[in-house]
């Protein structure tokens, strides 16, 4: 049977890249491939590239990791000066090549390819509307709605097709779109998912994270603003705002867990945000201890910050097996639990006989923390104090981060003391909501890279920049507070 249950429905989080080579060198696919390697942490299930040479668009998609999927043969068949690429991660454990991106649509007006990171919250009504007017769908992905809408509106011209589509779709989207001659980037009116612009010596890059720009020798220019569309072609970079009122609500979980520490998102270096969260955590919930360790990889920076602020020495303490995928992917709870032992192990000499503060970025189901405490105790820890650099995750995310339904979120159903007992820690504390936002805001900076060639709508540069306070602060904190940037539509609202 092919019917997905509510929990099995695809909850994608992904990475996108776009490359435009102004001198028409035909190797955009190779650069996009290196960019995708750097975005692999954003999705490990499938990957794809679409490449244009001014006349035609070719594409290639497959299940698996970037390093395994591409080779000399398939890359050299993708020649052209414009490329977009995608990595996809869905957690349902069922992998469908039909959902791999970029989606490509061909018509007599031309070819369009779309790579999308994010989740739409009005997929069902949009799908119904499109089906009533003759569209058919080949995947269960909400991203297919986007390409069908652009294709439907394409006769009005590219810019109108894009703005009309973007005004119809609701949710989170960071988009890389291409036609035979043009590369386009767009970010939803709340800028929930990241997207940035980079400059190459001979062209331009769009990427979910700046680490991909670094990887291909480019320079980060700036982030695409919420509600902004950039059109890149031989005339340069044209930027405009697609008209809707924008209010910045960048996903806070990008900083907490998802993004790579060497990326800079909306002007904030992710590693600095994490270190600062660790510092605030030490101030808010200090404890007498002999050593601070971080859970690799996303807890490491916060542990450095905690150690710095508390004066307690930092040690490696835990080693991660680099070759194991994310435990979340394991389909059953039993397997997930067993995977933690395979994935993480204690460094006995750092731990034995010591009072240990262990820092992780988040507790979701509680699986990792429970197992980690067992590992540390087995290695001889005298005390284990768990500290978390994000507040309790109590609500699901509808905008592209995979969090399970409420029933499976340990913090949705238990207070801190109950969780402490359940995971077996001597003490447990989460950073406060205000503390996390304080940490992020202390890293915000105005940056003079915010200038590019071409026209630019200045309103788009400043949206949300001055808001402060924990609830109206320019960040989506839906998973912590249950307050989302927009209402859920249809079935989503009932979860
Ligand atoms: P859990 O074991 O279910 O409590 O999950 C918490 C662990 O999973 C932490 O170590 C996080 O670094 C990691 N984590 C948090 N969010 C996600 C996510 N969306 N996908 C995969 N891993 C995650």
Q: Concatenated DSSP letters for 374-436?
A: HHHHHTT-SEEEEEESS----S--SSSS----GGG-HHHH--HHHHHHHHT-SEEEE--HHHH
pLDDT beyond 60 at 200: yes
CA neighbor of 393 nearest in space, from 295, 293, 299, 479? 479
| Mean pLDDT of the region 261-285 | 97
Q: How confident is the model at residue 457 (pLDDT cuts 50, 70, 90)?
A: very low
pLDDT of residue 30: 97
Q: Which residue has the higher pLDDT, 448 or 159?
A: 159
Residue bearing the CA closest to ligand 1, atom 3: 365
pLDDT of residue 330: 52
| Mean pLDDT of the region 292-299 | 96
**214 is written with which tokens?**
């670094």
Q: Under DSSP, is residue 342 helix (H, G, I), strand (E, B) or coil?
A: helix
The region of weakest confidence among 66-75, 447-456, 468-477 is: 447-456
User: Over the stretch 69-84, which tens digit does the pLDDT of each residue have?
Assistant: 999 999 999 999 999 9
Question: What distance in angstroms lies between residue 172's CA and the mean position of ligand 1's atoms?
Answer: 21
Question: What distance in angstroms lies between residue 363's CA and the mean position of ligand 1's atoms?
Answer: 6
- In angstroms, the first-to-last Cα distance of the chain is 23
Q: Which residue has the higher pLDDT, 50 or 405?
A: 50
- How far is residue 142's CA from residue 11's CA, in Å, rounded to a whole number? 10
117, 171 Cβ separation under 8 angstroms: no
Query: 185-194 burial string, b = 16+ CB within 10 Å, else e?
Result: bbbbbbbbbb
**Whole-Å CA distances, 186 to 183, 190, 193, 392:** 10, 11, 11, 31
* 328 pocket-lining for ligand 1 (C-beta < 6 Å): yes
> Would you name the residues annotated as active-site residues?
14
Angle formed by the axes of helices 367-378 and 416-423, to 10°?
50
pLDDT of residue 386: 98
Our CA angle for 325, 141, 166, nearest 5°, is 120
* 368 pocket-lining for ligand 1 (C-beta < 6 Å): yes
* 363 pocket-lining for ligand 1 (C-beta < 6 Å): yes
pLDDT of residue 236: 94
pLDDT of residue 326: 54
What domains does the chain contain, in order, with CATH numbers? 11-261+448-481 (3.60.20.10), 268-437 (3.40.50.2020)
Closest atom, ligand 1, to C-alpha of 397: 19
Q: Which residue has the higher pLDDT, 22 or 329?
A: 22
pLDDT of residue 90: 67
Residues in the chain: 495
* 364 pocket-lining for ligand 1 (C-beta < 6 Å): yes
pLDDT of residue 403: 74
User: Over the stretch 207-221, which tens digit does the pLDDT of each residue have?
Assistant: 999 999 999 999 999
pTM for the whole thing? 0.90
Contacts of 26 (CB under 8 A, 6+ apart): 53, 79, 80, 81
pLDDT of residue 458: 33
Question: What distance in angstroms lies between residue 364's CA and the mean position of ligand 1's atoms?
Answer: 6
User: Over the stretch 220-271, which tens digit does the pLDDT of each residue have?
Assistant: 999 999 999 999 999 999 999 887 777 899 999 999 999 999 999 999 999 9
For the beta sheet containing 196-200, the strands, ordered from the edge strand earlier in sequence to the opposite edge, are 57-63, 46-52, 82-89, 13-21, 203-207, 196-200, 219-223
User: Over the stretch 305-360, which tens digit does the pLDDT of each residue have?
Assistant: 999 999 999 999 999 998 876 555 555 667 777 788 888 999 999 999 999 999 99
CB atoms within 10 A of CB 22: 16
Closest atom, ligand 1, to C-alpha of 404: 19
Residue bearing the CA closest to ligand 1, atom 13: 362
User: Over the stretch 88-131, which tens digit does the pLDDT of each residue have?
Assistant: 986 444 568 999 999 999 999 999 999 999 999 999 999 999 99
* 29 pocket-lining for ligand 1 (C-beta < 6 Å): no
* 228 pocket-lining for ligand 1 (C-beta < 6 Å): no
Bridge partners of 442, per DSSP, are: none
pLDDT of residue 467: 33
* 337 pocket-lining for ligand 1 (C-beta < 6 Å): no
Contacts of 33 (CB under 8 A, 6+ apart): 49, 66, 70, 75, 85
Residue bearing the CA closest to ligand 1, atom 22: 328
Question: What distance in angstroms lies between residue 437's CA and the mean position of ligand 1's atoms?
Answer: 20
Q: Percentage of residues in the chain with pLDDT exceeding 90?
A: 75
Q: How confident is the model at residue 6 (pLDDT cuts 50, 70, 90)?
A: very low
- How far is residue 452's CA from residue 196's CA, in Å, rounded to a whole number? 12
pLDDT beyond 90 at 31: yes
pLDDT of residue 10: 39
Q: How confident is the model at residue 172 (pLDDT cuts 50, 70, 90)?
A: very high
| Mean pLDDT of the region 132-143 | 90
pLDDT beyond 50 at 190: yes
């Amino acid at each position: 049977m092919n019917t997905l249950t509510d929990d099995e429905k695809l909850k994608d989080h992904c990475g996108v890249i776009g490359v435009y080579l102004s001198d028409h060198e035909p190797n955009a696919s190779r650069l996009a491939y290196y960019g995708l390697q750097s975005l692999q942490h954003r999705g490990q299930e499938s990957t794809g590239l679409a490449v244009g040479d001014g006349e035609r668009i070719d594409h290639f998609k497959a299940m698996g990791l970037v390093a395994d999927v591409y080779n000399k043969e398939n890359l050299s068949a993708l020649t052209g000066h414009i490329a977009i690429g995608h990595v996809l991660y869905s957690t349902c454990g069922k992998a469908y090549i039909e959902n791999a991106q970029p989606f490509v649509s061909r018509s007599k007006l031309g070819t369009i390819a779309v790579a999308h990171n994010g989740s739409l919250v009005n997929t069902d009504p949009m799908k119904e509307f499109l089906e009533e007017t003759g569209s058919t769908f080949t995947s269960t992905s909400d991203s297919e709605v986007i390409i069908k809408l652009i294709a439907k509106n394409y006769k009005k011209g590219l810019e109108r097709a894009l703005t009309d589509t973007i005004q119809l779709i609701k949710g989170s989207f960071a988009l890389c779109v291409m036609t035979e001659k043009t590369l386009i980037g767009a970010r939803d009116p709340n800028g929930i998912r990241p997207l940035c612009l980079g400059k190459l010596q001979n062209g331009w890059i769009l990427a979910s994270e700046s680490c991909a720009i670094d990887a291909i020798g480019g320079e980060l220019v700036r982030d695409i603003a919420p509600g902004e569309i950039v059109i890149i072609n031989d005339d340069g970079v044209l930027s405009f705002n697609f008209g809707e009122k924008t209010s910045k609500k960048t996903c806070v979980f990008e900083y907490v867990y998802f993004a790579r520490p060497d990326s800079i998102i909306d002007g904030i270096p992710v590693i600095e945000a994490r270190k600062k969260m660790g510092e605030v955590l030490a101030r808010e919930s200090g404890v007498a201890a002999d050593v601070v360790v971080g859970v690799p990889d996303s807890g490491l920076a916060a542990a450095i910050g905690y150690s710095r602020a508390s004066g307690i020495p930092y040690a490696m303490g835990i080693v991660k097996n680099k070759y194991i995928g994310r435990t979340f992917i394991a389909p059953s709870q039993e397997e997930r639990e067993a995977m933690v032992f395979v994935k993480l192990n204690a460094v006995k000499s750092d731990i034995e006989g010591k009072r240990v503060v262990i820092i992780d970025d988040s507790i979701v189901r509680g699986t990792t923390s429970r197992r980690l405490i067992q590992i540390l105790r087995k290695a001889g820890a005298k005390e284990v104090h768990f500290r978390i650099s994000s507040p309790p995750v109590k609500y699901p995310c509808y905008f592209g981060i995979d969090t399970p339904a409420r029933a499976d979120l340990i913090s949705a159903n238990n207070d801190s003391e109950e969780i402490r007992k359940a995971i077996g820690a001597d003490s447990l504390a989460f950073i406060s909501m205000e503390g996390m936002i304080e940490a992020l805001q202390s890293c915000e900076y105005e940056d003079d890279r915010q200038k590019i060639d071409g026209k630019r709508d200045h309103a788009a540069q400043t949206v949300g920049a001055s808001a402060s306070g924990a609830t109206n602060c320019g960040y989506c904190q839906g998973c912590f507070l249950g307050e989302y940037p927009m209402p859920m539509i249809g079935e989503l609202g009932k979860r």
